Chains A and B, each alone.
Chain A
């Protein structure tokens, strides 16, 4: 048998969500039961079943403010997804009390060669205005696109580094440059499961001794035309009527659940070996105690329709529990994906019921999508950050938009104090990958 892996703790939780920058802003909004769902600021989405999205407001997040002065020029080649990742990393490193290259002074507290980075990313959409203004220069007389004109002149209207905004690994590229992470680095692209899978991979990398610390999680923006359209085609959107209150649209586990809205956000954590975190005097906020991954059977091959019995989700949860050396009885709260898409909710409900048995109705569920929508590759790590905060505060945030959760503890409720020792987080993805993590208080 392999030697016992090192234990892994969380020392920083960085988030940029539609509630703002920093886990404090997200936590406060969740406890107040707010929703950031609103009409899209950047595009008129009136041609879709809903004009609503959950966007990070410009007044609450400025990418230029989260990079070192010497790196500010690079923000020109950052897509929205990259900005969110860089912002989340900034917050995570700050909370972890790490001194990295980004500080531009003082000596770094993590050797670059021992510092890894695993970031989940989505299919990054090209900025439509930038691309189309270039495409429009290569049109034939009838208005159609002219490949010949594009090849000779049109493409020159795109900045030479254009493609570098859209390669999924550029999130990690920028974060590793800013914080000088020269250790193992990966970019996981498994839809909404991406950031929990990244946390799992960092946990293994640290566990086997290939790094002492990792910036880990994910980020994505779906609040653009292509993101909106793919959510529509995947039957994830809530159709809304004119005049409908956006704050009430996303209703996880409710009988009247009708879908979700695209969101955007980043969650990056600092994970560290328990021993090296202790050696530098860091505060371990919680332990990443267990991780599991699995693949669901996709009847439609694409995974638009989830496995109805949630068996793949069950497999991931059971693997995570076994990895943590626990059974379901030790879990005091659950953060499922909770999209409010009825077929996805049903699969998650089936999985929770199967894993928790008679206790399924008694374990509090924390729901995030009513407030922040579907943050894609950022979703799992934002959830993990909320889990850490809940453990630290010994408190459950408020829930909204669910009059009756039909047998789960997921109905609307104000925030309340609770005894929490361990929180289970899981995200299934479009495509059928499942990831689950057990986050535990430091005993």
Chain B
């Protein structure tokens, strides 16, 4: 009857605010911003000209042999750096698992970056304006002369899996899911479920993604989902503020090592915290809009809390709300922040206002498929240090949004249980409950 307990033993991230756990955490608690003008392509005339980019990153500093990963695209590079940190923190470099078939991977990795110049160039070279079509023969001639196999194959979303499997000799169940902004939360949840079922002893889980490229920014600009703020980019992402105007793109990766408590203890690893609940749902509402009452988001949170055995309406033994921190999806779009607030109130009722809930997207931007993974790690750190990160740029209260969004400054809060939420464009909602590990 009793499923095994699942603990986190390693964490790592590559983010716009840095490439190490402690440095980035310090910057988050200082409310620093990673936003700046886009450097990856010439976006000066785009509706949105800024993003939170990963800077000065060198994957060779993290992997055993950089030559093995010479073809890695950005997503794979970010994933390798983040997962290598997690693997080392878990001590798995010193005590590698005995049976590689018991080591699995579950990632929420995005699609890779298009070979923009060559792709666009080939399309234009083959464009038959009179017919209004791309000439296939001319396209093949142009594309095959300039594109390369590694660059093209690396765009498949399952390639970060292949790199991590190679780096850690993982031969167990291997999945990549891509449920937009919910992907890496879902990946952690499903990895947790695979461990609970006994199908692996160790899972590396998380996400990796960049959409800071021509068609990524174009696509979100056309959807009018991005902030088009004209002032200082560090003030552009304003979750829960009345003057919020869309999200700001980030990029990077968060990775964790999850394992059964039994496996962790047998090799003398230190559990950082315990995953106790996972809930998943689908809006099934509209392709562009979130269900206005936050039905799907509430269902996901409720399912995760139920699995954790937590009554959202009951105070804990110390008289606190049952959850002491919520890592919000908090994108900074009008719609998300309103509906997420509604959903949290629907789940926690009267207690909702007492639970600090912040969005680190205000500082490191929206890592899309990887967003959930870095936000999950923030929860682990909040429990460890009794500090919750702020929501930066929350200057103008929205009268409809009346929860405690931890505006502008980090706060000391004794945190034992957190909820991490992510909701995907397209309707997928995922929630995780993470708790301080108590033997």
The distance in angstroms between the C-alpha atoms of A219 and B280, with both chains bound, is: 22
**A residues near B292, Cβ cutoff 8 Å:** none
The digit string for B189-209, where 1 denotes a CB below 8 A from any CB of A, is 010011011110000000000
**A residues near B109, Cβ cutoff 8 Å:** 189
Within the complex, which residue of A129, A143, A234 is in contact with B134, where a contact is CB–CB below 8 Å? A129
Within the complex, which residue of B144, B224, B425 is in contact with A167, where a contact is CB–CB below 8 Å? B425
Contact assessment for A151 and B43 in the assembled complex, using a CB-CB cutoff below 8 Å: yes
A394 at the interface (CB under 8 A from B): no
Within the complex, which residue of A43, A172, A190 is in contact with B174, where a contact is CB–CB below 8 Å? A190
Contact assessment for A210 and B303 in the assembled complex, using a CB-CB cutoff below 8 Å: yes
B337 at the interface (CB under 8 A from A): no
Within the complex, which residue of B72, B173, B287 is in contact with A77, where a contact is CB–CB below 8 Å? B287
Within the complex, which residue of B123, B126, B159, B179 is in contact with A186, where a contact is CB–CB below 8 Å? B179
**A residues near B111, Cβ cutoff 8 Å:** 123, 168, 189
**B residues near A201, Cβ cutoff 8 Å:** 175, 190
B363 at the interface (CB under 8 A from A): no
Given contacts A2-B197, A158-B222, A169-B428, is CB(A189)–CB(B136) below 8 Å?
Answer: no
A105 at the interface (CB under 8 A from B): no
B121 at the interface (CB under 8 A from A): yes
Interface residue count on the B side (C-beta < 8 Å): 103
Contact assessment for B214 and A182 in the assembled complex, using a CB-CB cutoff below 8 Å: no
A429 at the interface (CB under 8 A from B): yes
Within the complex, which residue of B179, B219, B284 is in contact with A180, where a contact is CB–CB below 8 Å? B284
Contact assessment for B426 and A432 in the assembled complex, using a CB-CB cutoff below 8 Å: no
Contact assessment for A46 and B136 in the assembled complex, using a CB-CB cutoff below 8 Å: yes
**B residues near A164, Cβ cutoff 8 Å:** 223, 287-288, 425-426
Contact assessment for A433 and B175 in the assembled complex, using a CB-CB cutoff below 8 Å: yes
Within the complex, which residue of B105, B196, B284, B303 is in contact with A295, where a contact is CB–CB below 8 Å? B105
B30 at the interface (CB under 8 A from A): no
B226 shortest CB reach to chain A, Å: 12
B191 shortest CB reach to chain A, Å: 12
Interface residue count on the A side (C-beta < 8 Å): 98
A163 at the interface (CB under 8 A from B): yes
The distance in angstroms between the C-alpha atoms of A296 and B121, with both chains bound, is: 36
The stretch from A131-139, A362-370, A379-387, A408-416 touching chain B is: A131-139
Within the complex, which residue of A132, A152, A168, A181 is in contact with B45, where a contact is CB–CB below 8 Å? A152
Contact assessment for A128 and B134 in the assembled complex, using a CB-CB cutoff below 8 Å: yes
Contact assessment for A161 and B166 in the assembled complex, using a CB-CB cutoff below 8 Å: no
Within the complex, which residue of B124, B162, B303, B428 is in contact with A136, where a contact is CB–CB below 8 Å? B124
**B residues near A132, Cβ cutoff 8 Å:** 123-124, 126-127, 134
**A residues near B148, Cβ cutoff 8 Å:** 233
Q: A46-B137, A301-B68 are in contact. List 10 more A-B contacts (CB 8 A).
A: A113-B281, A128-B134, A133-B132, A145-B124, A173-B426, A176-B282, A187-B428, A210-B303, A225-B143, A433-B158
Chain B residues in the interface with A (C-beta under 8 A): 1-3, 41-47, 68-69, 71-72, 101, 104-105, 109, 111, 117, 120-121, 123-124, 126-127, 129, 132-141, 143-144, 147-150, 152-159, 161-163, 165-166, 169-180, 186, 190, 193-194, 196-199, 214-215, 218-224, 280-288, 295-296, 299, 303, 424-428
Q: Can you sample 18 A-B contacts with CB below 8 Å? A: A2-B2, A47-B144, A147-B214, A150-B45, A150-B214, A150-B218, A161-B288, A163-B215, A185-B428, A186-B177, A186-B186, A191-B158, A225-B136, A229-B147, A294-B172, A295-B170, A301-B71, A302-B162
